[in-house]
Amino acid sequence: MNKLGVPNDEFYMKIALRLAKKGLGFVNSNPPVGAVIVKGGNIIGKGYHTRFGALHAEREALLDAKKNGFDVSGATMYVTLEPCDHYGKTPPCTDAIIESGIKRVVIAAKDPNPVSGDGIKKLMKNGIEVKVGVLENEAKEVAKFFFKYVTTGLPYVTLKYASTLDGKIADKIANSKWITQELRSEVHKLRSIHKAVLIGAETVLKDNPMLNVRLPKRKFRNPDVVVLDENGRVLKRIISDTDKFELFNPDYQRRVIIFSSKHYQNVELPEYVKVKTPESLSVENILKELAREGIDSVLIEGGASVFSQFLPYADEIYGFYATKIFGKGKSIFQHLSIPIEESEIPFEIQKIRIAKNRKELMVVMRKCSQELSSMYVKDTSMVKG
């Protein structure tokens, strides 16, 4: 309550948003949601959606209050997304709220998924006061993967690259590892919240990457791995010697999805490896297939060719720069074909972070409102792995 006795809705919603962020990387393709129950100016219950298929934030908050011996009748619930009103993996949250005796519900953002039902309408029909739109933009930012996924049927696409100051991602003999050091933890944070990481065949064969999450003293989930293997080069190699490739380490507990135009009959692969051979390996087809696999977000960590092909579909770009100069080498932008008069790529800088060593820089860019034109790539008809 403030000095006038009016509930400070933004204050409590900020707490709910912090709770929601705890579910990032664990709840995909569901939204991360947080909930707080307040009575008499005191927080008596808190909860968040902990993992896919588990109880929703509202029910977790109600259970928390009950566990601590609090009566929630007449209380206010703050929740970052409109409570669901349908039977899915869990019963409707609206029913739990109504039955609890809560009299006021403050919601940050409406649920864009029509499957979730009209939770706001049902709450109001049952005499509960509802307020919508408190810190709405902040709530949509926390759940941006979900909002993109359910409104477009496509995953949220993040591009990532590490470059020297002169724009090189590899030197003249193609060495590319560890351009940045201190800011590498930011890459692992990105992996931990995205449902999948995507790379090309060349990266698999040359670098043998792990693409797992290495964050000390923090809970995380390893992302699924998507490999673009147009000519079946990776498939051919792993059939003969799967154990040589870090991607297929079962200890990482993730799926590996390989897109290829080649199909090898009667080949036994580990159960967590899936091979897809769609009629077309266009970027759009690949993203649609990933969405059908429940992948709501994908981090593109491929080389220059993959980068250029996915750029028109990117929602965000993370650029990591180090105070190094290669001179001769490979550029992340070498496959782009952009006229000089149209060379300003329509992304806006959202965030800049300088490492403690003062030698590394992270730039986060978000797509402007206008759509990217196909002029930014030479060929988007077929993904080159």
Fold of 9-146: Cytidine Deaminase; domain 2 (3.40.140)
What is the H or E stretch that residue 65 is in? helix 57-67
Is 207 annotated for ligand binding? yes
pLDDT for 335 equals: 81
**Phi, then psi, of 156 in degrees rounded to 5:** -70, 130
Structural tokens at position 291: 């969405």
Are 145 and 28 within 8 A, CB to CB?
yes
Is 162 annotated for ligand binding? yes
pLDDT for 176 equals: 64
pLDDT at 47 over 90: yes
354 pairs with which residues across the strands?
361
- 256-259 and 224-228 strand pairing: parallel
pLDDT for 44 equals: 98
Question: Is 58 in the active site?
Answer: yes
Is 297 annotated for ligand binding? no
**Phi, then psi, of 206 in degrees rounded to 5:** -90, -45
Q: Where in the chain is the domain with CATH 3.40.430.10?
A: 153-367
How does pLDDT run across 65-104, given as a tens digit for each residue? 999 999 999 999 999 999 998 777 778 899 999 999 999 9
Q: Where in the chain is the domain with CATH 3.40.140.10?
A: 9-146
Is 242 annotated for ligand binding? no
- The single residue of 58, 60, 202, 316 carrying the catalytic annotation is 58
pLDDT at 370 over 60: no
Instruction: Give the span between the Cα atoms of 208 and 235, in whole angstroms.
Output: 14
pLDDT for 373 equals: 39
- 156-164 and 104-109 strand pairing: unpaired
Is 84 annotated for ligand binding? yes
Superfamily of domain 153-367: Dihydrofolate Reductase, subunit A (3.40.430.10)
What pTM does this model have? 0.90
